[in-house]
Amino acid sequence: MTVRSEFVRSGEGKIRYRRVRAGGMEHYNVRVYVDGSDEELRRVEAVTYELHPSFRNPVHRQTNRASQFELTLWVWGMFDIEVEFELVDGGRARTRYYLRFSLPEDTGDNYVEVPVARQLEK
């Protein structure tokens, strides 16, 4: 099993981004998930992701095996994520995943801005 990430894209395949406040950094929508065979994923009960402490809610426990224990979030930079696997047999395993991404050049047709929800503007 491997922890992976990818950009969340619009229906047209564009990279989603937003600005939390006027003049602020662009935040990109990212999906973090566990990549593995069906057999490997069946051995996992839950996955806990511990994000950078600057996140308002840095700890997320995911139990949806069908979504590959995905976590979607908005990020403006790269950082380590502590990942803990809770196994069906009661065991646990930990790893660290470095969330990194490379943005393509902005050609005018590969990004789409997403409005910020009101509660995030505070």
- pLDDT score of 24: 84
The answer on pLDDT for 20 being more than 90 is no
Pick the CATH number of 2-121 from 3.50.50.60, 2.60.40.1970, 3.40.50.620, 3.30.360.10: 2.60.40.1970
The answer on pLDDT for 121 being more than 60 is no
Read off the DSSP letter of residue 39.
H
pTM reported for the whole predicted model: 0.89
Q: What is the mean pLDDT of residues 77-106?
A: 96
pLDDT band at residue 118 using 50, 70 and 90 as cut-offs: low
For 82, counting Cβ atoms within 10 Å of its Cβ (0-12 exposed, 13-18 middle, 19+ buried), the class is middle
The answer on pLDDT for 81 being more than 90 is yes
Domain boundaries of the chain, sorted by first residue: 2-121
